Amino acid sequence: YKTSDGLAFIAQIHSEFPQVPIYLMSYGSLVYTPGVENFCKKAAEAGVKGMIIPDLPFDYDEGLTAACKKNGMINIPVAAPSMSAERLHKMAGSGFPYIYAALRVGITGTDTKIDQNTLDFLKKVSEGGSKVYGGFGISNGEQAKALASSVEAIVAGSVFVRIITENQNDESKLAQKVEAKARELTSL
CB neighbours of residue 152 within 10 Å: 13
Rounded CA gap, 157 and 180, in Å?
A: 15
The SS3 assignment for 97 reads coil
Q: Which of 120, 119, 74, 71 is nearest to 99 (CA)?
A: 74
Alpha-carbon torsion (98, 104, 106, 107), positive or negative: negative
The SS3 assignment for 133 reads strand
Residues contacting residue 99 through CB under 8 Å, at least 6 positions apart: 76, 77, 78, 79, 91, 92, 125, 126, 130, 131, 132, 133
pLDDT at 10: 96
pLDDT at 111: 65
Alpha-carbon torsion (51, 56, 58, 61), positive or negative: negative
Does pTM surpass 0.85? yes
pLDDT at 48: 98
Distances (CA, A) of 31 to 23, 26, 52, 81, 116: 14, 8, 11, 25, 35
Report the half-sphere exposure of 24 (CA within 13 A, side-chain side): 29
Per-residue pLDDT tens over the stretch 118-174: 999 999 999 999 999 998 888 888 998 999 999 999 888 889 889 999 999 998 899
Is 167:147 a contact under the CB 8 Å cutoff? no
Per-residue pLDDT tens over the stretch 38-63: 999 999 999 999 999 999 999 999 99
